Chains A and B, each alone.
Chain A
Amino acid sequence: NAGVMQNPRHLVRRRGQEARLRCSPMKGHSHVYWYRQLPEEGLKFMVYLQKENIIDESGMPKERFSAEFPKEGPSILRIQQVVRGDSAAYFCASSPGLAAEAGTDTQYFGPGTRLTVL
């Protein structure tokens, strides 16, 4: 049973370019979360999605950032017109359903995409 998959693992962009990060949840998981981690810091929640729906985007910057989880295919985190401050590790996590139903908070993390903006 494959785990959460993310690609690319490393992404280098110049200022002003677009970054597109992909995440395929674990098989059977319908909930996807994106987190950002700056060096030497904890993970910061960005957005929570279910298929075709954004449920909670309270951690997403208001501009340049968007996320989607289409009916078919991976979840995409898109960063337009990247700036140096966007350099970070972006982690995707998935869970099988609502934590209240599952009785646990377990989220399964992918290996992350390390974005470097030159």
Chain B
Amino acid sequence: GQSLEQPSEVTAVEGAIVQINCTYQTSGFYGLSWYQQHDGGAPTFLSYNALDGLEETGRFSSFLSRSDSYGYLLLQELQMKDSASYFCAVRATGFQKLVFGTGTRLLVSP
């Protein structure tokens, strides 16, 4: 089976940088994804890592270390609209389904 751990909540101020960590256990591994979900909204794809290293997409970056079963999402120049829940998700080799972590609630204050 697969399991993922994330911090339950992170707080930061506008303009700051925040890192949301994710550790995972899986019997096989294909890739680590990150999704954003605002209250009452649908999950929205942010980033995907299949190989070790950093992927950058605008203010958001995602990192993966396969040897450590660890990844993180880095959000820079935080804005109020970034207040949302962030989920990491893995897909095990041979399966199509995504297994999601329990989510990290990010609260951005002025």
The interface of chain A, by Cβ under 8 A from chain B, is 31, 33, 35, 41-45, 48, 55-56, 58-59, 91, 93, 95, 98-100, 103-112
Q: Supply 13 further A-B pairs (C-beta < 8 A) apart from A33-B97, A99-B30.
A: A31-B96, A35-B100, A42-B103, A43-B100, A48-B96, A48-B97, A91-B42, A99-B96, A105-B89, A105-B98, A108-B45, A111-B41, A112-B42
Distance in Å from the Cβ of B90 to the closest Cβ of chain A?
9
The interface of chain B, by Cβ under 8 A from chain A, is 30-31, 33, 35, 41-45, 48, 50, 87, 89, 91, 95-103
A56→B96 contact, CB < 8 A: yes
Minimum CB distance partner of A41 in chain B: B102
Minimum CB distance partner of B88 in chain A: A42
CA distance A34 to B104 in the complex (A): 22
CB-contact partner of A109 in B43, B96, B99, B102, under 8 A: B43
CA distance A41 to B103 in the complex (A): 7
Minimum CB distance partner of A111 in chain B: B42
CA distance A104 to B100 in the complex (A): 16
B31→A105 contact, CB < 8 A: yes
Instruction: Tell me which residues across on chain B come within 8 A of A111, comparing CB atoms.
Output: 41-42
B42→A110 contact, CB < 8 A: yes
CA distance A98 to B41 in the complex (A): 26
B91→A105 contact, CB < 8 A: yes
Instruction: Tell me which residues across on chain A come within 8 A of B30, comparing CB atoms.
Output: 99-100, 105
Instruction: Tell me which residues across on chain B come within 8 A of A35, comparing CB atoms.
Output: 100
A91→B102 contact, CB < 8 A: no
| Pairs across A and B, CB under 8 Å, 28 listed | A31-B96, A33-B96, A35-B100, A41-B102, A42-B100, A42-B102, A43-B87, A43-B98, A45-B100, A55-B96, A56-B97, A91-B42, A91-B43, A93-B43, A98-B96, A99-B91, A104-B31, A105-B33, A105-B89, A105-B91, A106-B33, A106-B48, A107-B45, A109-B43, A109-B44, A111-B41, A111-B42, A112-B42
